[in-house]
Amino acid sequence: MFAEADLSCDAFLGGRLRIWQPKQGYRAAMDPVLLAAACPARQGQTVLELGCGAGVAALCLAVRVPGVSVAGVEIQPDYGELARRNAAGNGVALEVAEGDIAHLPPGLRTRSFDHVIANPPYYPAHAGTAARDAGRERALREETPLSLWFEVALRRLKPGGWLTVIQSADRLADMLDLKGAGSITILPVAPRTGRDATRVILRARKGGRAPLRLLAPFILHTGDRHERDGESFTPAAQAVLRSGLGIPV
């Protein structure tokens, strides 16, 4: 368990969510918010998040889509407990199971969902410099292959269900080898107009057959460079990050 002194309580969605997370270690920023905004869930549907961490993506989705049923699985018990605490503190019924996605707990292994969302680790194993904090290192560095994340997600989807994933743009080639899914849509996420995308949001449908679509980039900041301190989000990014609206993928 994290000690209280090691936690901060941070605002998301313009203060609609208050999230406890460690001051050191893995700290959620905008990526899980973008992930939740891109998921096309509707009231009454079920959503599973693989690797839910402190629960930010699942809770953002539940706030945006009242009546959606959300569950998550998290391998690090301390973060799973934070997800439960955050759900209770924000009045959201989030079911959190602890375990490895490669060996899902029995309560999840036999269920199917309308949607699966995931923000898998961005860095391949043995690449780059390890983070000093063990929790952050495990959240950001791949132990389970990315291909297995997709395989597990598709097994848990109902026929016609949707998979939504946010990932580092340089992993896109690894994301496109989807067996059993189609109707793929790729949304590049770029920091500014004219800059390369640093993230991609992929959405795919189990059993889908529509052609792949590559959308115009979602731009986060105004201007072509950073010129001042403070927020500089585009209106579209402001609507997602502060007002809790969805991304029309």
Digits of tens for pLDDT over the chain (249 positions)? 899 999 999 999 999 999 999 998 889 999 999 999 999 999 999 999 999 999 999 999 999 999 999 999 999 999 999 999 999 999 999 999 999 999 999 989 999 999 999 999 986 666 555 545 554 455 455 578 999 999 999 999 999 999 999 999 999 999 998 989 999 999 999 999 999 999 999 999 999 999 999 999 999 999 777 766 668 899 999 999 999 999 987
Q: Cα separation of 158 and 113, whole Å? A: 6
Measured N-to-C along each axis, helices 56-64 and 77-89 cross at an angle, to the nearest 10 degrees, of 20
Helices (H) then strands (E): counts for the chain: 8, 11
Please name the residue that has the structure tokens 């690797």.
51
Q: What is the pLDDT of residue 128?
A: 57
Q: What is the pLDDT of residue 131?
A: 47
Q: Cα separation of 148 and 144, whole Å? A: 7
23 and 10 Cβ atoms separated by less than 8 Å: no
Q: What is the pLDDT of residue 1?
A: 82
116 and 157 Cβ atoms separated by less than 8 Å: yes
**How far, in whole angstroms, is CA 7 from its chain's centroid?**
21
Parallel, antiparallel, or unpaired: how do β-strands 69-74 and 46-50 relate?
A: parallel
pTM of the complete model = 0.91
Residue 152: left if φ>0, alpha if ψ -120 to 50, beta else—which one?
alpha
Q: What is the pLDDT of residue 224?
A: 73
202 and 175 Cβ atoms separated by less than 8 Å: yes
Query: Can you list the domains of the chain with their CATH numbers?
Result: 4-241 (3.40.50.150)
Which helix (H) or strand (E) segment holds residue 10: the answer is strand 7-12
